[in-house]
Amino acid sequence: MTQGRQVEIVEVGPRDGYQGIDPFIPTQTKIWLLERLVAAGLNRIEVGSFVSEKALPQMRDTHEVLAVCVRWPSLKPQVLVPNEKWGRSAVAAGAKQLVFVLSVSESHNRNNVRRTPAESVEEYGRLLQAIPSDTKIRLDLATSFDCPFEGRVPQEKALSLLDRLVELKSDAEICLCDTTGRADPAHVESLFTAAKKRFPNVQAWALHAHDTYGLGLANVNVAYRAGVRVFDASFAGLGGCPFAPGATGNVATEDLVWMFERMGVSTGIDIEALLPVAQEGAKIPGGLSGGRVRDALTSRPDACAAARQT
Amino acid sequence: MTQGRQVEIVEVGPRDGYQGIDPFIPTQTKIWLLERLVAAGLNRIEVGSFVSEKALPQMRDTHEVLAVCVRWPSLKPQVLVPNEKWGRSAVAAGAKQLVFVLSVSESHNRNNVRRTPAESVEEYGRLLQAIPSDTKIRLDLATSFDCPFEGRVPQEKALSLLDRLVELKSDAEICLCDTTGRADPAHVESLFTAAKKRFPNVQAWALHAHDTYGLGLANVNVAYRAGVRVFDASFAGLGGCPFAPGATGNVATEDLVWMFERMGVSTGIDIEALLPVAQEGAKIPGGLSGGRVRDALTSRPDACAAARQT
C-alpha cells in the first residue's frame, strides 16, 4: 500500500464496470478516463481482462489499454485472466499483476469458465507454473457468499476451496467477492474473521462488494472492522456481472472514498477530482451506474469539502 | 417491542416521506397505503404531524388519518409535534404517542421551529406538563451528527443537550437523527456508545438514518451493534427534510427489512407484502423515492424468499 493511505481502493470500473456494456467504448475514451482516474489518486486499477473476444467483446482492447499504463509511474495496473492460456498472453503483453477468478459455487463457475471449482484450482496451479515468479497474483473468489443459482453459499465451502488455493501460493492477495450483492454484514464479518484465523499467513485480504441491495457500504465497513484493507469499487458504480442475473452495481468508488474520508480513514483519493470522472462514467452509453454520493455532491458541489470534516 | 421481533422498525414515510411532497396526497390514498403497511407487519407508524398547515400543507389531514388508526388493533401510531400547543391538539385528537423534535445545532433549530435549542428544551418541559402522564414520548434530536448549515456537530454538543432533556423525562425514547445523511459509521457508533454510557437509565434508543450518501444501512448496522433496537425508515425510501438542502432520502423500509432478515434478525415484517406497497409509494406524484431493494426484488420477484435464507 502506498504510504499515507490507510485503505487501498482498487478501481475495477474499467474491467467489471465496462465488461457488460454494449456498445464498445472507444479505446481512446478508456484511456482518457484512465488518465483522469489516475489523476484523482487511484493508483491500483483493474484495466481489463484477457479473455475470449467472443465472450466479452468489450475487453478486446485490454492489451492496448495495458500498454499505455507505463505513462503513469504511480499506477499499478492489474488484469483479469480466466485460465493459464490467457495468463500467458497477459504476461506477454506486459502484465505484472494478474487476477485469477474462480467461483466457490459449482454452477456459477461452470457458467463463468465452464469448469468445476476443482478444475479451476488445477488451472490455477498451471497458471502459477507458467508465469514469472515475480508476477503478483490476486485471487478473486466469486460467489463467496451467495450464488445467483444456488443461493447462500455455506461458509465452509469457501474455506475448503481456500485450503487448496492458499497451499498453492500463500502470498497471493485473496479477494472474497459478493457477486450477487446479497451478502449481509453479519455474513461478511463471519467469513473474513474465519478466513483470517484459518490462514494466518495470507497477508492481504480484499472485499469485492456489490450494491444491488444497498448493502455495499455496510459490508465494506464491517470488513474494514474485521481488518480488511483492500476494497474493490467502480467509479460511478458501473458494473454488474453478465452471468449473474440482477447483480447490477459495484459499490461506487466515490461512495467508498466519501465513507472512509468522513471516518478519518485516508484513501489517498481526491474526491473533488474523482467526482467529474464519475459524472463522465455515468454517461457512458449502455452503462448502468449506481451509488449515491455522485448525485448528492453534484447537487451541492461545495459539499466535497465535507469529506475532510473529520 | 412486540414479541418475536428482535428490532423495531418505525415506518416514518407517512410523516417524513410525505411532508415535502407537493401536490397533496388525498387522505383516502394515505389511509389505503397505511392499511397495506399495517398488513405487511408494520405496527409502529409515524402517521403525520400536528403542525401549522401553512408550514406543511401536506400534513393538514393528520387528525383524520390518526382517527382511523383505531381500525387496526396492532398499530401504535405516533405523531410529530413541534411545541406544546400542537402537542395539546394531538392529544385532544386521540394521540397516545407524541414525537417532539428539536435540533442539536442552533441554526437548524431556528430554521425548523424558530427557537434556540435551549428554548426548545423549555418548550419540551411545558409540553410534558400539558399532556396526560401516560402519553408516550419519543424525542427526535435532529442534526445529532451533522447540520446542513454548520457541518459536523461535535459529539459533546448532542450529549450536553441530552443532559437537560433526559433530566426532564428519563423514560422517553430518544432518537438520534442523521438529518443530512452525512453521519458515518464511526461517528454513529461513537455517539451511541457515549450516550448509552452517559444515560444508563434511558431504556430505548433509536436511529433515524438518511441514505443521501449511501450510508443509511451501514449506519443502521453499526447502531445495531452498539445496542440500538429501534430504527426509523420510510417505505420506498420516500423522504427528505424540506429545511435541509440535499437531505433527500430516508433509509428505505424494505432495505432495512432485507438487511436484518438476511442477518437472521427478525423484524416481524413480511417483505413480500411490503414490496408492492413500496412500489405504490414510489409512484406518488411529486415524491422522491430511494433505496435499492425495491428495484432489485422487482426485477426478480422470486428473490423475496432469499430474505429468509438465514
% of chain A residues with pLDDT over 90: 86
Q: How confident is the model at residue A308 (pLDDT cuts 50, 70, 90)?
A: low
Is B10 strand, coil or helix? Answer: strand
Q: What is the model's pLDDT at position B82?
A: 95
Cα–Cα distance for residue pair A240/A212, rounded to 1 Å? 9
Cα–Cα distance for residue pair B308/B310, rounded to 1 Å? 6
A58-73 mean pLDDT: 98
Does residue A42 surpass a pLDDT of 90?
yes
Does residue A310 surpass a pLDDT of 50?
no
A278-292 mean pLDDT: 91
Shortest distance between the Cα of A89 and any Cα of chain B, in A, equals: 37
Length of chain A measured in residues: 310
Is residue B221 exposed (0-12), middle (13-18) or buried (19+ Cβ within 10 Å)? buried
User: How far apart, in Å, are the Cα atoms of A161 and each of A118, A155, B136?
Assistant: 8, 10, 54
Tell me the pLDDT tens digit for each residue of B234-248. Answer: 999 998 555 555 556
**Poorest-pLDDT segment among A226-230, B230-234, B291-295:** B291-295
Q: What is the model's pLDDT at position B297?
A: 87
Tell me the pLDDT tens digit for each residue of A124-172. Answer: 999 999 999 999 999 999 999 999 899 999 999 999 999 999 999 999 9
Stronger pLDDT, B3 or A266, i.e. the higher one: A266
- Are the Cβ atoms of B214 and A213 closer than 8 angstroms? no
Closest by Cβ to A246, choosing from B146, B262, B300: B300
Q: What is the model's pLDDT at position A90?
A: 98
- Parallel, antiparallel, or unpaired: how do β-strands B97-103 and B76-81 relate? parallel
Peptide bond into A117 cis (omega under 30): no
Q: What is the model's pLDDT at position A288?
A: 85
Q: Does domain B8-308 have CATH number 3.30.1510.10?
A: no
Tell me the pLDDT tens digit for each residue of B187-222. Answer: 999 999 999 999 999 999 999 999 999 999 999 999
Alpha carbon of residue B277 to chain centroid: 18
Chain A contact for B255 (CB, 8 A cutoff)? yes
Chain A contact for B252 (CB, 8 A cutoff)? yes
Chain A contact for B288 (CB, 8 A cutoff)? no
> What angle in degrees, to the nearest 10, is found between the helix axes of B106-113 and B117-130?
50
Does residue B284 surpass a pLDDT of 90?
yes
| Residue A306 with chain B: CB contacts under 8 Å | 146, 151-152, 182
- Sequence ranges of the domains in chain B: 8-308
C-alpha cell at A120: 479451476
C-alpha cell at A5: 493511505
**Poorest-pLDDT segment among A14-18, A141-145, A282-286, B82-86:** A282-286
Q: How confident is the model at residue B175 (pLDDT cuts 50, 70, 90)?
A: very high
- B287 with B250: CB under 8 angstroms? no
| Ramachandran class of A111: left when φ > 0, alpha when ψ lies in -120 to 50, beta otherwise | alpha
Q: What is the model's pLDDT at position B260?
A: 98
> What angle in degrees, to the nearest 10, is found between the helix axes of A271-282 and A27-39?
160
Q: How confident is the model at residue B2 (pLDDT cuts 50, 70, 90)?
A: low
Alpha carbon of residue B242 to chain centroid: 15
The H-or-E segment that residue A139 falls in is: strand A136-142
Does residue B110 surpass a pLDDT of 70?
yes
Instruction: Return the closest-CA partner of residue B262 out of B229, B217, B300, B227.
Output: B217
- B237 with B221: CB under 8 angstroms? no
Q: What is the model's pLDDT at position A302?
A: 61
Chain A contact for B218 (CB, 8 A cutoff)? yes
Positive or negative, the Cα torsion across A188, A198, A1, A143?
Answer: negative
Shortest distance between the Cα of A246 and any Cα of chain B, in A, equals: 7
| Residue B220 with chain A: CB contacts under 8 Å | 218
pTM of the model: 0.95
| Residue B247 with chain A: CB contacts under 8 Å | none
Question: Which residues make beta-bridge pairs with B233?
Answer: B11
Q: How confident is the model at residue B286 (pLDDT cuts 50, 70, 90)?
A: confident
Tell me the pLDDT tens digit for each residue of B3-61. Answer: 689 999 999 999 999 999 989 999 999 999 999 999 999 999 999 999 999 999 999 99
Cα–Cα distance for residue pair A259/A306, rounded to 1 Å? 11
First and final C-alpha spacing in chain B: 22
Mean of the per-residue pLDDT values for chain B? 93
- Are the Cβ atoms of A292 and B151 closer than 8 angstroms? no
A96-103 mean pLDDT: 98
Chain B contact for A152 (CB, 8 A cutoff)? yes
A8-19 mean pLDDT: 97
> What angle in degrees, to the nearest 10, is found between the helix axes of A117-130 and A155-168?
20
Instruction: Return the closest-CA partner of residue A217 out of B292, B218, B210.
Output: B218
Tell me the pLDDT tens digit for each residue of A195-254. Answer: 999 999 999 999 999 999 999 999 999 999 999 999 999 999 998 555 555 556 899 999
